Chain A
């Protein structure tokens, strides 16, 4: 079983397919869960603690807006522990504010920079494309398992 980072990190489809074909999907929920189950300081409705932008300094410079650093404090450790990645090119659902957009760019850049197996594709728009989409992911994940055992 390999740890596969999914982008968009909130994707239901990628999360389900990665788990369905026997691997562990790494997405937003995993990092958020760890965050909300760790004792610390609470400041509802803000989800982040004041430490998070500091942790994010490992992946983004101090000039970078704190929103990006805060998000990177969640995603950064997961990108580092990922053993593979599946990236959807320009997903419409990942459209968001400046912090989200720049974090997404940084995330994709970091995943492409890392020397790990990577699959890049886009969302299907028809049944035929659905077959290609699922086949590409299945083929990628099945071979990932084989490579890990070699």
Chain B
């Protein structure tokens, strides 16, 4: 095995996702570049990735969040951009790991709506809204289950 010398030690990488009718990924990347001050920014189809010291990254993210507070979402990333173990330039084909993002982005409009509504709520209203139960999905109908078993 070859000795491993890690890159970008002490930095953090964060994904910035946007799903908004008013703000595009390009707007996000441009706004991030404007105040980058040496921080590495990678524009992507969903927003951007920011790599730098924790303070710098937090500063940029705080600025970006103001653009569209309910529709910009941030998440940590373990690997820095271009890491040979993850980068498609080295591996070829689609990068594994975006399936989870794709799944969650499908319901992000509900979260955006929830954030907007809960921001307007008083403490009492928030408590009442939080106490509501999320209904469980309907159980599989017995007749459908029986027909599935018979098909087998």
Contacts and interface: CB of A to CB of B under 8 A. Distances in A.
A122 B133 CA distance: 10
B132 A132 contact: yes
B142 interface: no
A115 B11 CA distance: 33
A119 B115 CA distance: 18
Interface residues of B, number: 55
A126 B110 contact: yes
B59 interface: no
Contact of A121 (B84, B109, B118, B134): B134
Interface string B112-124: 1111011001000
A124 B9 contact: no
A58 B133 CA distance: 37
A138 B129 CA distance: 10
Given A33-B78, A36-B6, A93 B104 contact: yes
B134 A122 contact: yes
Nearest to B58: A19
Contacts of B137: 125
Contacts of B12: 33
A124 B134 CA distance: 8
Contacts of B5: 39
Contacts of A54: none
Contacts of B73: 12-13, 16
Nearest to A47: B85
A90 to B, nearest CB: 10
Interface string B65-93: 00000000111111110011100000100
A12 B104 contact: yes
Interface string A78-119: 000000000000001100000000000000000000000000
Contacts of B110: 124-127, 129-130, 133
A62 interface: no
Interface of B: 1-6, 8-13, 15, 17, 73-80, 83-85, 91, 97, 99-101, 103-105, 107-115, 117-118, 121, 126-127, 129-130, 132-137
11 contacts: A12-B15, A13-B107, A15-B74, A36-B6, A123-B107, A127-B114, A130-B110, A130-B111, A134-B111, A134-B118, A135-B118
